[in-house]
Amino acid sequence: MALIGTIRKNSWLLIIMIGLGLGGFLIMDMMSAGNPGGGSSSQFVLGKIAGEKIDRGNFERVYSLVYGNSSGDVYSRRNFLWNYFVEEKLVTQESEAIGLGVSNTELIDLEFGPNPSPIIVQRFSNPQAPGQVNREQLNYFKQLIEQGGVKEAIDQGQLSPTFPDYWLHQEKEIRKERLQSKINALVSKAMYVPTWLAEMGFAEQNHFVDFTYAKVPFDEIDNSEISLTDADYSAYLKENAARFKVEEETRKMDYVVFDVLPTAADSAANREFIAGLIEPFRIAENDSNFVLSREGQIAPVYYSKDQLSPVIADTVMAMSIGEVYGPYFEAGAYKAVKVLDHVTMADSADTRHILLSATAPAEFAKAKKTVDSLANLLETGVATFDSLAIKFSQDPGSASTGGVYEGVTPNQFVPQFNEVLFKTGQVGQLYKVRTDFGWHLIEILKRNSNTTTRVQVAYVMENIVPSKDTQAEAYERASAFAGENRTIDEMIAAAADQPDLSVKTTKALLKNDFSVGEMGAGDDSREIVRWAFTASKDEVSPTVYTYKDNVAYFDSKYVIVGLKSIQKAGIPSIENIKEEIEPAVINKKKGELLKQQMESMDMNAVASQYDVPIDTARNATFSQSFVQNLGNEPKVIANAFGLEQGQVSAPIVGESGVFKVMMIKKPVLAAPTNLPQVRQRMASNVRSQVTSNLIQAMKDKAGIEDYRSKFY
């Protein structure tokens, strides 16, 4: 009460306090605006496209819908989804501005009609007929959606609870793809080639000339004779500004890799481990469980001698069923092999079958009933096999020919089919077989009289990998290296003193990149890039980055990185690009010197002075990017076409040397007789670039603000 009384008596204090509070909020808001990745609300903003925010929560929700059950490179998938979000906003904005849309009727047709969206074709493809839609599966979803059966299907466990949201997002993708194709079509149709341009295109493609040339290669002048200054580099950069301009800030890093390699002791331990499995493997009652529990290999495939590894082929073919051989070394691992079966099989067979495709339990049950009915029709003589195959078989490779396959070899078909065809079945009999593709009704027509002995085998193996102790020793060495060398120069000097180490440099990396040098993509690569965009030039990261082997999952590399350079958007600094452009700048200087020396010489004098031949380019056209013998020399071609017959050029500094050119045959160009075709071809070439170039141009003009690197 005393405080309230004081405020009442001194109301000016209240006004000041309110003013200070409002000022604080304004300052916080200004700071948040100046730092888009920071602030209390910016944690929900992943970026802005043409002024519209991309909500991080929505992005994560869509990612979970689309990729929730997927494995693979999370960074590539996230990058793909970001590009979708960007393009969807740009396409939607542009469509609204020019009055384009996709009606509900059109959307339904794109989902279920005769010519579905490419998205539907991709996601509902028929595994037996690549490029075609699985209509049975698609019609199942159509029926559920139209009849309101989605909830019931979810309750019964036939659909994922996320299906409704997934389908709504898919419809959004279809709309975006359709709108984008409409915009592309509008721009493509607007492409026009005027008569003067068509005539120029005709001339560039049909004016054939012959010219002779003498080329003095840049190597004629030794590099030691050339001295470069910053002015030389600056001049070259200025002349080639468009080639080297960077749109985003980049970083380059130097790095040292400590490879983790197995020792002799590690190899001996791996061999001893396999040796200890030989007897248990021999007496195992369930070979499949024994092998799979030890990450071995077993398959219902029968190998001939020439299909086995040469390391064990002779031994295995002489072994008895149940016998085990090992340990033996092959492909970086110690292995043991067990013979499961010996069979003499025909080298080939003729067969025919009817396939009823199935993927879900209900489909398999339905297919089995149909196969039973078809078998009954055949056994009672009511129908013929070929007529039923043509009518019912869903195998696109054989249905039209009565289901016949001739000259089938062992292991060509799936194991269950192979088992009947070459091992258990009898010629002329019918067999009902279930495979991953559905139910088959199979008849063996003929087996080849030539036979081969084959074996079925199983393997257990142990990859020769570094032990935990070996990995720990390598990590300690890498940690000590990082702790003792805190600058790029120190890192380079220390690596030079150790024969097994070398310093390598990454390409220029963007803030959202996730692949670094030879290490490729991954969590540690992404962390390296994130560190680089917070570090100071010449700084070495105190973190030892760990990369695991993709197969055996041991620590295979420990990596130390240092920040080599920082390049802001725009034209690179000479310091950052000097190494990259130095060869070209040297050649430019050499070209200038050779040009001065050759200025007053004719072609024969050039050939004599520099001991080079005089060659001839025949039937060259202005539009050619590559001319036989001459190579890729656009400046030479352009200068040659500026000459009249018999005229000799001044020295031309090309891509690979300095040239003297003489035109020896330049006929008068005939009037074009196929101008409409030329116009059509030129327009088609330009239109073909719209699909990829238009969306990129829209992105370039949109003012995209990308904050992803602050979150991922």
Q: Are 41 and 57 in contact (CB under 8 A)?
A: no
The b/e string for 459-473 (b: 16+ C-beta within 10 A; e otherwise) is bbbbbbbbbeebbee
Closest CA to 650 of 665, 666, 662, 632: 662
Query: Distance between CA atoms of 473 and 549, rounded to whole angstroms?
Result: 17
pLDDT at 68: 81
pLDDT at 20: 36
Query: Distance between CA atoms of 348 and 343, rounded to whole angstroms?
Result: 14
Q: How many residues are present in the chain?
A: 712
Question: If you search the block for the tokens 């027509």, which residue do you land on?
Answer: 445
Closest CA to 219 of 579, 613, 590, 582: 590
Residue 414 one-letter amino acid? V
pLDDT at 6: 35
Please, what is the angle between helix 195-206 and helix 675-687, to 10°?
A: 100
φ and ψ of 195, to 5 deg: -60, -45
Query: Distance between CA atoms of 633 and 627, rounded to whole angstroms?
Result: 8
Q: Are 311 and 337 in contact (CB under 8 A)?
A: no
pLDDT at 16: 32
Residue 50 Rama label (left phi>0; alpha psi -120 to 50; beta): left
Alpha-carbon distances of 705 from 93, 249, 319, rounded to whole Å: 17, 13, 68
> Residue 420 carries which DSSP code?
I
* Residue 328 CB coordination number (10 Å): 17
Closest CA to 232 of 595, 656, 577: 577
**92-97: Cβ within 8 A, 24+ apart:** 92/176, 92/179, 93/50, 93/52, 94/183, 94/698, 95/179, 95/182, 95/183
pLDDT at 17: 37
- The predicted-structure confidence for 418-454, as pLDDT tens digits, reads as follows 999 999 999 999 999 999 999 999 999 999 999 999 9
φ and ψ of 553, to 5 deg: 60, 30
Query: Distance between CA atoms of 185 and 181, rounded to whole angstroms?
Result: 6
Peptide bond connecting 262 to the previous residue in cis, omega within 30 degrees of 0? no
Please, what is the angle between helix 74-98 and helix 56-67, to 10°?
A: 120
Positive/negative CA dihedral, 380, 382, 387, 392: negative
If 0-12 CB within 10 Å is exposed, 13-18 middle and 19+ buried, where does residue 16 land?
A: exposed
Q: Are 49 and 708 in contact (CB under 8 A)?
A: no
> Residue 625 carries which DSSP code?
S
The ranges of the chain with pLDDT < 70 are 1-42, 128
Q: How many CA atoms lie within 13 A of 112 on its CB side?
A: 15
Q: Are 297 and 418 in contact (CB under 8 A)?
A: no
- Record the tokens describing residue 552, joined without a space: 């055996």
Q: Are 420 and 434 in contact (CB under 8 A)?
A: no
Q: Are 119 and 173 in contact (CB under 8 A)?
A: yes
Question: If you search the block for the tokens 């025909």, which residue do you land on?
Answer: 346
pLDDT at 447: 94
pLDDT at 550: 87
- The three-class DSSP label of residue 570 is strand
The b/e string for 300-318 (b: 16+ C-beta within 10 A; e otherwise) is eebbbeeebeeebbeebbe
Query: Distance between CA atoms of 646 and 667, rounded to whole angstroms?
Result: 12
> Residue 320 carries which DSSP code?
P
Query: Distance between CA atoms of 567 and 167, rounded to whole angstroms?
Result: 43
Query: Distance between CA atoms of 118 and 133, rounded to whole angstroms?
Result: 10
Query: Distance between CA atoms of 532 and 378, rounded to whole angstroms?
Result: 72
- The predicted-structure confidence for 447-494, as pLDDT tens digits, reads as follows 999 999 999 999 999 999 999 999 999 999 999 999 999 999 999 999
Query: 565 has which bridge partners?
Result: 252
